[in-house]
Amino acid sequence: MSAMAAAIDGDKIHLFADAVFYDEDGTVAGIHPKIWQVPGLNASFISRGQARAFLYFQELVLLGGAKTWDELKESLPLIWQLLDRWMDNTPMDILIAGFSEANNRPEILYRHTVQEDDHLKAGATYIYLDGVCSFGCVMEEADDVCAEAIRAFEVARHYKGNINGFYDDRNECFAHAIGGRLQHIELTRNGERGETLRVWPDKIGEKIQPLAA
């Protein structure tokens, strides 16, 4: 899978993601933003896995009718159940960020459908209230969170892993999986601000070649 990360800095939430989608042989199939707005809320989400998950999640949020972040959290068990069904239990993970009115704080939620390590149980929803969380890269806490994100994503971009490791019905394929561009969203209680921190020279129809940058 590719990479995503988030950091809570006071009353701000920073979200980071690359923008590449690839076929099971590592060929770039598309380059599109992976940080999307949660419909009707001052909140954003990122997903890794198949591209259809983005539209499915947005549709399920709309069907649930949540008007606040806290209402969204209450509706997540049903959303996860339906999303897994719609996705045919395809391996994926999702990160959601927003502001709790009841708790008066920024919050980050994370869920993975596959048991990736001993710390994060598959199917469970985890909440992060401070610091940094990263998946597919290793981001540390830093004074300049954007500079640290660039460093972390660049390091991870050069790593070649088995991109089909979570799929039982696919052959092993070791390839680079982070590319397109590095997107940053700064989320506050007043809305969001977005920017592109890095553009990589990846091309649709070709495999990611970090050393060519």
* β-strand partners of 15: 6, 185
Q: Position of tokens 């239990």?
A: 89
Dihedral through CA 7, CA 13, CA 16, CA 21, nearest 10? 120
Give the pLDDT score at 165: 73
Q: How many CA atoms lie within 13 A of 53 on its CB side?
A: 25
Domain ranges across the chain: 4-212
Q: How deeply is 151 buried, as exposed, middle or buried, from its count of CB atoms within 10 A (0-12, 13-18, 19+)?
A: middle
What's the average model confidence in pLDDT over 94-98?
A: 97
Give the pLDDT score at 83: 95
pTM confidence score: 0.94
H-assigned helices in 104-191? 145-157
What's the average model confidence in pLDDT over 18-43?
A: 94
pLDDT tens figures, 124-168: 999 999 999 999 999 999 999 999 999 999 999 999 988 777 777
What's the average model confidence in pLDDT over 201-207?
A: 95
Cα 134 vs. chain centroid, distance in angstroms?
9
Give the pLDDT score at 113: 82
Please state, for a pLDDT cut of 70, what percent of the chain lies above it.
97
Average pLDDT, the chain: 92
Give the pLDDT score at 123: 85
State the fold for domain 4-212.
Glutamine Phosphoribosylpyrophosphate, subunit 1, domain 1 (3.60.20)
What's the average model confidence in pLDDT over 95-111?
A: 97
User: Pick the residue with more confidence: 107 or 119?
Assistant: 107
